[in-house]
Every structure is written in C-alpha cells, then in structure tokens.
Amino acid sequence: MTRLSVNINKVATLRNARGENNPDVVAFALHCEKVGAQGITVHPRPDERHIRRSDVRDLKAVISTEFNMEGYPSEDFLRLVEENKPAQATLVPDKPDQLTSSSGWDIPANADFLRKVTERLKQAGVRVSIFIAADKEQVRAAKEVGADRVELYTKPYADLYPTDPERAIAPFIKASEEAKKIGIGMNAGHDLSLENLAYFHQRMPHLQEVSIGHALISDALYLGIDETIRRYLDCLS
C-alpha cells in the first residue's frame, strides 16, 4: 500500500499571515488523520516562515499516524529531529532562503556528510530518507551512505506528464526497480496532483509513500479537505 502523507506547510503559511492561530495547524493535521491521511509531513525552515519549531513539538505530541520531518540537515534541524523523534526524517539539499525544493542531492559528492548525518539520525531511532532525482546512481549511493529510503523528486515527471506520460514516468520506473533490487525503500513527492498521481502510482509498484502539500491544499480550497483527501486516496487505491 502506498501511504498518503499530507504536507501542512501551506496551512502554517496561511496562519502566519495574520500572526494568530487561525487556521490551527495541529487541529488541521488531526482532521487530516481523521478523514484518512496516513501521515503528516512538515518542513520547518530556519526563518519559520511556515512551520515553526513549536509546531513540531505540538504535532509530535498528538500525531498518531506517521510523522515525517523534511529539511536541510543543519545542526539546528538535526537537534529538532533528535528532540522530537519523528518516524522519518527526509533530508533535502535546500538553501536556507530557498522558496521550495528544486533538486535532489548529488549523494556521491556529499557522501561523507550524508553518511554521518544518516548514522546520527538512525542512532536516534529515526528512519532516514534522502531526496534525490530519479537516477539509479543516486539510488545506489543512498544505500551506500546508509539511508533507509529515497524520496524521488517528481517535478520533472509532473512537468512532462501532460504531453508525454510514458516518457515522463520512464526514469522513475528504472529508479524504483533499482531500489527494489538493492533493498532500499521508495517515496516520492513534489508537484504530484489529482491530475497525475493515479498514473504515477499505477506504474510504480514499489512506491511506499507520497508526500503532497501544495496541490492538495489548493484542491481543498475548492473541494474541502475531506473530499480532497478522499480523492487522493482513491488515486492510490
């Protein structure tokens, strides 16, 4: 089964626009769980422009599904993960002021760093996933540095899907097959949507988890969050 993890960063962005607690990020996360989401994802950034450190602590106290923390593995991020012990930490190569994730790690070029980070987080009892492009070399490199999973950066798939879905999915299938072959888990995320998720899921038999935020929250403005989550789960059924 492929799990749906709802990234709630955009909910925090809306809350922060007024400086109060509306919408309530924790209440929203709990409601997502109630209507079927199988995980909650947050990406706390250094400037706290959406998810705050306090949100991480509050969410950890109440989340009953899988809690996934994404972020660049700075010392501050690593300490936050160690303090809160989510089920999974997803390591992304974002710069501190980056608007959103736009590429995966070049793991061979950062192998020593990522190996130390992975060992540290696994010692804390946290599963480690590394954000990469759909490339077999990067999948193998993730295994070599000790990661439990990889998360495939799916924007290239989303961009090409409307005009050539077969070519769009091809490198992702190869990466998935390599992951299965060497025994590393497979997640995916970025620009997956109601338009392209079902096809992606159908062609990726070893996919364990998708993390979706921007498209899902945008759809909820029109459909409501209950109906939106139901439709995303239908894509993964």
Q: Which residues contact 156 (CB under 8 A, 6 or more apart)?
A: 133, 134, 168, 171
Q: Which residues contact 176 (CB under 8 A, 6 or more apart)?
A: 152, 186, 204, 205, 206, 207
Q: Which residues pair with 85 in a beta bridge?
A: none
CA separation for the pair 70, 156 (Å, rounded): 20
In the residue annotation, 50 being an active-site residue is answered as no
In the residue annotation, 214 being an active-site residue is answered as no
User: Which of 43, 50, 151, 209 is flagged as catalytic?
Assistant: 43
DSSP assignments along 135-172, one per residue: -HHHHHHHHHTT-SEEEEE-HHHHHHTTT-HHHHHHHH
User: Which of 33, 151, 178, 190 is flagged as catalytic?
Assistant: 190
In the residue annotation, 43 being an active-site residue is answered as yes
Buried/exposed code over 185-221 (b: 16+ C-beta within 10 A; e: otherwise): bbbbbbbbbbebbebbbebbebbbbbbbbebbbebbe
User: Which of 33, 66, 70, 209 is flagged as catalytic?
Assistant: 70
One-letter amino acid for residue 45 of the chain: R
Residues known to be catalytic = 43, 70, 190
